Every structure is written in structure tokens, then in C-alpha cells.
């Protein structure tokens, strides 16, 4: 389903990619992790659907397949490394560039999606710490 949706149905592609990540979290048996991933997927999907650039929301299906293959073979360290690479690639495709020397808030991150708009969406004020 992911392969069929890729490039032709962005909302479906976002949903299916999110479902993949939620399923993996559910399979860990860790309820806290599953709830956290579901919340992140929900919020990320909404942000990508509203502000993403073309193809920014797409997870590479080949990356999902590689993770599954590592899990099927019982190679947990490889699956872990592939997942980390995958999450980094997803962030890169979404144009979320995090510099370790600069702390960024949601306004900074969403600004990358706002070409042609007069700034970030209303209500996304900077929080003081």
C-alpha cells in the first residue's frame, strides 16, 4: 500500500508511513513508547500535511523494508541502526535541519515550510524559558 500511495496520494502516504511507525512501536510491548510514537506520528503527520513541501512527507518504502528484514533476521542492532538512519532521513526530507549548537523551537522549524506565507501560523508564539 505504501508503494502504491508514494508519489500519487500524499495524504495516504503520510497515513501509511505513520501506521508503520506506530505498528513497530506497538510490537515492542512498551505502552509508553507506543503512546509516545502515536502522538508524535499524529502531530508530525498534521504538520507535514499542512506545511510540508512536495515529497517531504514520504518515508522511503525501501527503508521500511530494510528495517523489517533486519527484524525478521533477528538482527536487533542492525534494525536499531537502520531505524536511526531512517528517522534522520525523514527529518532531512522534511527539511528539518537541526544544528547541535543551536536550540530551535517549533516556530523556527515551521518557518522552513512557510515560503509564500507571512510567517508561521497564528498562535505559534515563542515560549520563554
What span, in angstroms and rounded, lies between the C-alpha atoms of 26 and 28?
5
pLDDT > 90 in the chain, percent: 33
Average pLDDT of the residues in 104-119 = 57
Is residue 110 over pLDDT 70? no
Is 3:9 a contact under the CB 8 Å cutoff?
no
Using a cut of 0.85, tell me whether the model's pTM lies above it.
no
Higher confidence at residue 36 or residue 50?
A: 36
Amino acid at each position: 500500500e505504501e508503494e502504491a500511495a508514494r508519489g500519487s496520494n500524499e495524504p495516504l502516504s503520510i497515513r501509511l508511513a505513520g501506521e508503520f511507525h506506530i505498528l513497530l512501536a506497538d510490537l515492542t510491548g512498551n505502552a509508553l513508547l507506543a503512546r509516545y510514537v502515536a502522538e508524535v506520528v499524529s502531530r508530525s503527520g498534521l504538520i507535514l500535511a499542512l506545511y510540508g513541501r512536495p515529497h517531504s512527507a514520504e518515508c522511503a518504502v525501501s527503508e521500511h523494508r530494510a528495517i523489517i528484514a533486519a527484524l525478521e533476521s533477528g538482527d536487533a542492532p542492525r534494525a536499531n541502526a537502520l531505524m536511526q538512519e531512517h528517522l534522520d532521513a525523514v527529518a532531512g526530507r522534511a527539511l528539518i535541519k537541526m544544528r547541535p549548537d543551536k536550540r530551535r523551537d517549533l516556530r523556527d522549524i515551521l518557518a522552513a515550510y512557510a515560503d509564500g506565507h507571512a510567517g508561521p501560523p497564528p498562535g505559534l508564539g515563542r515560549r520563554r524559558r
